[in-house]
Amino acid sequence: QIPPQIRCAQDYEMVARRFMAAPTYEYVAGGSGRDLTVAANLAAFARWSVYPRLLRDVTAGHTRLTLGGAAMAHPLLLAPVAFQSLAHVGGEVESARAAHATDSCLVASTLSSCPLEDIARAAGPQRWFQLYFQPRRDDTRLLLQRAEAAGYGAIVVTLDASIQAASLRALSAGFRMPAGCVAANLRGQAAAEPGPAGESRIFQGVMRDAPTWADLEWLLTRTTLPVWVKGVLHPDDARALQRLGVAGLVVSNHGGRGLDGAPASLDALPAVRAAVGAGFPLLFDGGIRSGLDVFKALALGADAVLVGRLQMYALSVAGALGVAHMIRLLREELEVCMALAGCATIDDIGIAALIESTGNPC
Ligand code: FNR
């Protein structure tokens, strides 16, 4: 069932073209606007190389870690990716099965095509819920209650996508969300009403429903679950969020789907780590395509990483089996890199393992 062309995790990107309709592939692969940030995310990894280190005994090596107090087998999480039925009829339930089979923590999106309860049943014990604030607080409260009741262990609130910025790539390819692909968690919720004529469609329109600091403070009082914030790039935001009492941060630019022109997540990571200090839980995503990329993100300050597009690609190719296989490949690629770099544990991976090298294709 796994096509023989798949030799490494990144191969799913290429092979997925055969399994998704072209407009759908463009929608998944593309970012917002002209894909400036998508390109930056990938290019940032190429600026770093990893030193091989010699003669170190790594035979007691492993990839275990604790993240926000929870023990994890490896530092790979499945990122919240909306509308997974675009990639496979089984949608998020397939990804959840893969997470369970590979001891991976899954972050289920508010905009999933399967209900969050179904995803929870298929996922392993490590499952978190990604929250988008809804225009009405009651709807947000209801989502929280459902996530808590379904046994999600943390809330990851995404704050960098208040506007759904158009993707020129998806537009050019003629992508349209299929009629059957709906946000299963949000059925029956009111759509935002248009503002009076003459007002800005953005400031007085879409952004009227965007969360502010007060909403985040409200959220922190409304749940006993740890609350992570996803979409942090500026060190001042990181410090302010840490002061507010969030459990951890996700350094992310939404895979280049938010502000086109935002810096590469990897470039923003060291300053955010410096701002929050060692020991504060920090996740990373944006551009992870290999175990080598995972190693570099950990070396630059992340505790663990989220995998976005590779998940959708693998899902389209072989459902749960594909996603589990992709995670296994990524994990093994990371282990090879750790072993040759002389790092027996995740804690051993640090900035000293890297050298900045412009022009190097690694
Ligand atoms: C996303 N992402 C996302 N993030 C989020 O918080 N909620 C969501 O519903 C979605 N939906 C979504 C759909 C699709 C098709 C993509 C590609 C991405 C962003 C995602 O969680 C993650 O930040 C990026 O995908 C990471 O970058 P890579 O791994 O795709 O390069």
Amino acid at 337: C
Record the tokens describing residue 37, joined without a space. Answer: 């940030």
Mean of pLDDT over the chain: 96
Residues 6+ apart with CB under 8 A from 57: 344
pLDDT > 90 fraction of the chain, expressed in percent and rounded: 94
In the set 74, 88, 100, 254, the catalytic residue is 254
Predicted ipTM?
A: 1.00
Quick check: 335 pLDDT over 80? yes
For the chain, strand residue ranges (E) read: 48-50, 65-67, 70-72, 76-78, 105-108, 127-131, 155-158, 227-232, 248-251, 282-284, 304-307, 354-356
Any residues with CB less than 8 A from the CB of 131 and at least 6 apart, and which?
110, 140, 143, 144, 147, 155, 156, 157, 158, 219
The token duo for 192 is 């935002």
Phi, psi angle pair for 196, to nearest 5°: -65, 150
Distance 330 CA to ligand 1 centre (A): 18
Q: State yes or no: 180 annotated in a binding site.
A: no
Instruction: Ligand 1: list residues with CB < 6 Å.
Output: 28, 41, 79-82, 109, 111, 130, 158, 230, 252, 254-255, 257, 285-288, 306-309, 312
Is the confidence at residue 227, as pLDDT, over 70?
Answer: yes
**160-215: pLDDT as tens digits:** 999 988 999 999 999 999 999 999 999 877 666 667 788 899 999 999 999 999 99
